[in-house]
Amino acid sequence: NAAAVTISNPNLLINPDFRINQRGESVYSEVGYTADRWKLQFPNSAASIEDGGYKLGLTSSAIDNSIASVMQTIEEPERFCGKMATLTVDYKTVASNRVYIEVAISDHSDALHVVAGKFITEGTGKYSVTGIIPVDVKTLFVRIYGADRRAGDDINAYSIINYAKLELSSVATPFVPPDPATELAKCQRYAMTLE
């Protein structure tokens, strides 16, 4: 654990600090891709790039189960079968009652399984979850909730995500901002409309 103070493991996420935004929009409110490699999951929510971070919030308080959530799918998940992984998210919440972070998979039966998840009600900070990636992984992804109507959040509730890090480790190691040119090259491997 002491070594984790100075050593940083590679980040398995692409565009972990949301700096690459080839689509060029400042606000995304449709289900689909937003900042490169990050996908807005549900309607009645929005993701925007502001204040040096990535803002997740609701656009409607009328729908009882609205969730402001983004996810990223990890390439070639079979590389990580049976390995320990830690997800760390650094964020600030405003008027949000609940934030949730998770590492999840679908297996060969297409069933969804949460490998590691955590509800967070504190306001600001870095929070981590750790779990073992199962051997029957078919799809591996991380998901971050910024506001949740089911917890009483309304359109004034949101979170600013500064970065996310998924690493092969039993502990969280420091986040190192990626080189912008390298991250852009990684993002350009994907068709902007298909990702």
pLDDT tens digits for range 64-104:
778 999 999 999 999 999 999 999 999 988 888 878 899 99
Please report which confidence band the pLDDT of residue 111 belongs to, taking 50, 70 and 90 as the band edges: confident
Show contacts of 23-30: CB within 8 Å, 24+ apart: 23/192, 26/50, 29/59
- Of 146, 154, 143, 144, the C-alpha closest to 63 is 154
Q: For residue range 142-159, list pLDDT tens digits in order.
A: 999 999 988 888 898 899
